[in-house]
A = this chain, B = another copy of it.
């Protein structure tokens, strides 16, 4: 049965995700700040609304995929926000990666109006969004999750209900701690190898199959070795996510020495103009510290 959905935010992630919902036969209305970005969808007959409130007016499920906490707050609570069109039973699914505590506050505000707010950040990057193979980590009301799960299956492969409101964002931040510190492990190991004159490709091959193995080593290691720093995931966005990690850790008094360290080292990468390069450009910072260039 087709569902009336709204999709707000048509960046590199949102655009293909909204397209998948349309392709699956659902009735999609989109909104995005830069209207021209919607043309690839409106040309397929998808409706465009001028504000989040108007997009949500005729939708039972509202998807949001924007960048940071203030962006989601503006889309939901702003003067032309989704809240203006909120009706009992509406479900909002937020695919952005934002603050868990801000998520919990918004969820509480919306619950008073009978609206469910599910946090549902994703991982898998633009490739995962295009191929509908994203991992989607969901927090919030279990029944509301079960209602939208068939819709999520059009966009992702590993769909997990992680717990109450905020649990999806917290799980995404766990993911970002792992991703960024394992990336640093790879950078330090390959810098040590290079300064000692080892062949990087051969070194990766010798160790990647055992206890040293990781997605980061296997996928980003060869790019570091070849000097390919094109973005899979951009350092500027990784820094935004690490900021969320460290803010959340501070709120809960959790000491994360390595996650803090990698945040500082990414700052050095940004200082050298690598903010829009892929996270593997962290390798250049370690190489520079070893005076390799």
Contacts and interface: CB of A to CB of B under 8 A. Distances in A.
A210 B156 CA distance: 12
Given A196-B170, A245-B192, A210 B256 contact: no
Nearest to A249: B192
Contacts of A176: 212
Contact of A256 (B123, B192, B207, B216): B192
B215 A215 contact: no
Interface in A186-234: 186, 188-193, 195-199, 202-203, 205-207, 209-217, 219, 233
Nearest to A133: B210
B265 A135 contact: no
Nearest to A199: B163
A171 B215 CA distance: 19
B212 A255 contact: no
Interface residues of A, number: 70
A24 interface: no
Contact of A215 (B212, B252, B253, B265): B212
A252 B175 CA distance: 34
A137 interface: yes
A216 to B, nearest CB: 7
Contacts of A202: 160, 162-163
Interface stretch (A68-76, A83-91, A285-293): A285-293
Contacts of A192: 170, 173-174, 177, 245, 248-249, 254, 256
